[in-house]
Chain A
């Protein structure tokens, strides 16, 4: 059982950081609802307020790791230019997608949207984490700050969902593959 270094990085970026962020988003929305749905008569503990700040900070770290690994590690492999005369475009995902009318739009719409919309996520969630930490228990006395925080978390989920969906579809149509082989499990001789 082997995996290439590029596939491993794609896995870490998408299934590790990205998917974990999406899962964490639903947790954050539930957490915000439970803490503030009945604002004014809440009996939440200070440790719960601290937990919200820590949770959103962890999400912000995940969001930054996702966009930075995507932009600076995987994207250069994706957009690498194929040398003139290359017939096998398997190692050049963008060129491979653009070479067929049926797959062109995965790059022209999918990747073009994904590469930019993903960057809205760390901005939105870093802001949410800052507010949760800065105001902590006082957040219950600032309903408008709570609304903004919740709104930005929901939009970050939407943006991360768009990026995640196109990431998965792009990898299905033109996987980022290559580099060294990493042997995960040694096979038995037949």
Chain B
């Protein structure tokens, strides 16, 4: 049983957590971007106009498209930087989950309107 555990630990060391960390953190950043762009478009008519990529959908089209592009770009960059690294995941998990939680709160209009 202990041999099995030792083998697993070795495998875990070989399969680095970097790509996973990159996916987790970039998902948090992408989610947070959705909330930030929504608030920015709500506060500034200029930004709102900038985000109108598809007129029938209005600024929502640009807010989400730019957030998705930011998410995917961040993911690609972090994945390349961390592909062979083992990182401190608890810290990255907390940051990503806090960003995701904040996104849930900031997209709620009464909270978003406070800014």
Contacts and interface: CB of A to CB of B under 8 A. Distances in A.
Interface of A: 40, 67, 71-72, 75-76, 79-80, 108-109, 112-113, 115-117, 119-120, 123-124, 126-127, 130-131, 134-135, 138, 140-142, 144-145, 147-148, 151-152, 155, 158-159, 162
B9 interface: yes
B107 A116 contact: yes
B81 interface: no
A147 B12 CA distance: 16
A42 B87 CA distance: 25
Among B57, B58, B68, residue most surrounded by chain A Cβ atoms (within 10 Å): B57
Nearest to A80: B56
A113 B108 contact: yes
B64 A119 contact: yes
Interface in B79-97: 89-90, 92-93, 96-97
Contacts of B71: 123
A115 B60 contact: yes
Interface residues of B, number: 43
Contacts of B31: 120, 123-124
B47 to A, nearest CB: 15
Contacts of B97: 148, 151-152, 155
Decide if the interface of chain A is mainly helix, strand, loop or mixed. helix
Contact of A109 (B8, B17, B104, B110): B110
Contacts of B92: 148
B93 A148 contact: yes
A108 B31 CA distance: 21
B61 interface: yes
Closest 10 interchain pairs by CB?
A: A76-B56, A144-B89, A141-B12, A127-B27, A116-B107, A112-B109, A138-B15, A145-B20, A116-B38, A148-B93
A82 to B, nearest CB: 15
Interface string B96-115: 11001101100111100000
B55 to A, nearest CB: 9
Given A148-B96, A155-B100, A116 B12 contact: no
Given A124-B27, A144-B89, A134 B19 contact: yes
Interface string B23-36: 11011001100110
25 contacts: A67-B64, A72-B57, A79-B57, A79-B58, A113-B109, A116-B35, A116-B60, A116-B63, A117-B103, A123-B27, A123-B68, A131-B24, A135-B15, A135-B20, A145-B20, A145-B89, A148-B24, A148-B89, A148-B92, A152-B24, A152-B27, A155-B97, A155-B100, A155-B101, A155-B104
